[in-house]
Structure 1
Amino acid sequence: MADAFGRMVEDFHHGRLVERPVYRRDDGHVSEAHLAGYFADYNDWSDLEKRMAERVSGSVLDVGCGVGRTTLWARREGHAVCGVDRSPGAIRVARERGIERAAVGDMTALGIDTGFDTVLVVGKQLGLGRSRAALRGTLAELARVTEPGGRLVADLNDPTHPDARAEPEYLNERTVEEGLTYRRFRVEYDGLVGPWIDLLMTSPATLRGVAEETGWTVEAVVESETSAYAVVLGR
């Protein structure tokens, strides 16, 4: 499948965009890709992301690192950090930006044996998939690469939050169970069409139940004014 996301961020990074990339949802809805956000410095992060950063300690595995936005921050803060993303183009950009430890990989099968003190998953990517079983599998894989006593810090969207109900018909058609819904979209740029990406939206209560099935303990839930929230899971 074409790496539309990778081409998009590479061209943006090198100042050679040929058109505005878009995200196409599975119902046909199209929105413009927010490219600057992938490169945002710490000062431009959301309040929720900054509060997530406060929970990071020790060695860090940045899963779904993209072009290295959070990876670079972790390194500047003195953490030993490794970034992983399934987009080869994004990893090329991350390396160009000075991240030596950046590799192509899928969070559901990382191919990493090293244990980390903190696994960081920013961008609502923890819910990759469209089922409870998919979320369970991802959490189990991330537990495998987390040291005992370590933690997972991730953000998600709560489908039961009023802010998430702006398009109830869309979400209702994709509800897996109470508190668990998914969105499906893909990146389109310069004639390239990326793979469909399914991202789960899960309520904190539902996430707690799935996490406990995979050996995690919920240490904290960090709420925001929107449907976005962060969770800190402990091993």
Structure 2
Amino acid sequence: MADVLGKAVMDFQQGNYTEDIKTFSSLDEEDVIPVPYLFRDFKEMPKVEQKALKLAKGKILDIGCGAGSHALYLQNKGLDVTAVDNSEGCITVAKERGVQKTVLSNILDYSEETFDTLLLLMNGIGLAGTLSNLTAFLQHLASLLRPNGQILLDSSDIIYMFDEDEDGGYWIPNNGKYYGEVTFTMQYKGLKSEPFDWIYLDYNTLQNACWANGMECELMVSGEHYDYLARLTHKK
């Protein structure tokens, strides 16, 4: 699979930034990911990310680390953080930027150590792909967590993207799928990714999935754009 994200962050790191990543989704939306945004510092981050970084403690795993901005911030605060991503380009750039502990792996293939904090930022729960994969994904995350550990993740309820009727309900296509399931492709400088599944979870759906899998789920902060930060812990 073309490492679209990796190529874009490598270009930026090497001073060859000329364009952004284009994304195309099954919601008929075309969008861009501005590459400089992947290199943002703490003050440029949305409040859900800032809150997560303040709550992170102990031994930390930054899942889907991208260019390493979150890991770097935590490392600079003296915390023990490992950055994991399945993009070779992202891991190369994270190392070049100074992240000391990196792992090139799909998170579902990783089981080397356990942690006090798992971070899944920039809608990291999206890595689960679909609602039907959510149970296995949460169980795998729980297996990486120490007894008193926490998972900090942000997501968005994308219900606002659907048409609203007069009585406040939403017109959601009846295709048998959860409305937060989206298929994306990414494009950058002639490179195009294979289509991949990504999920945006409304908070109630996440909470119910956590309870079904023996985990507590707590809403830590709500953002300005239907987004939120949740903390997941083992049930006591």
Please name the residue that 2:73 is paired with.
73
TM-score by length of 2: 0.88
Number of aligned residue pairs: give it: 229
| One-letter amino acid matched to 1:172 | P
Please name the residue that 1:36 is paired with.
36
Q: 1:131 to 1:189 in 2, by over 3 A?
A: closer
Q: How far is 1:18 from its partner? A: 5.2
Q: 1:210 to 1:34 in 2, by over 3 A?
A: same
Range that drifts further, 54-63 or 130-139? 130-139
Q: 1:125 to 1:166 in 2, by over 3 A?
A: farther
Please name the residue that 1:126 is paired with.
125
Pair 1:208-2:207 in alignment: yes
Q: Is the CA contact (8 Å cut-off) linking 1:185 and 1:196 kept in structure 2? A: yes
Range that drifts further, 215-224 or 50-59? 215-224
Q: 1:232 to 1:32 in 2, by over 3 A?
A: same
TM-score by length of 1: 0.88
In the alignment, structure 2 segments of 5+ residues that lack a partner are 165-169
Q: How far is 1:174 from its partner? A: 6.6
Tell me, in whole angstroms, the C-alpha distance in 2 between the residues paired with 1:175 and 1:73: 41
After superposition, what is the alpha-carbon deviation per residue over 1:111-142, rounded to whole angstroms, capped at 9, x for unaligned? x3211000000010213244323111111111
Q: Is the CA contact (8 Å cut-off) linking 1:108 and 1:137 kept in structure 2? A: no
Please name the residue that 1:172 is paired with.
173
Q: Is the CA contact (8 Å cut-off) linking 2:123 and 2:156 kept in structure 1? A: yes
**Match of 2:134, SS?**
helix
Q: Is the CA contact (8 Å cut-off) linking 2:20 and 2:35 kept in structure 1? A: no
Q: Is the CA contact (8 Å cut-off) linking 2:220 and 2:230 kept in structure 1? A: yes
Q: 1:173 to 1:196 in 2, by over 3 A?
A: farther
Range that drifts further, 37-46 or 48-57? 48-57
After superposition, what is the alpha-carbon deviation per residue over 1:142-197, rounded to whole angstroms, capped at 9, x for unaligned? 1111100100000011134x4x446977x6367724xx521221221122111323
In the alignment, structure 1 segments of 5+ residues that lack a partner are none
Q: How far is 1:217 from its partner? A: 0.8
Please name the residue that 1:218 is paired with.
217
- 1:1-235 alignment runs, 5 A limit: 1-17=1-17, 19-26=19-26, 29-110=29-110, 112-160=111-159, 162=160, 164-165=161-162, 172=173, 176-177=177-178, 181-235=180-234
Tell me, in whole angstroms, the C-alpha distance in 2 between the residues paired with 1:22 and 1:159: 19
Q: 1:184 to 1:100 in 2, by over 3 A?
A: same
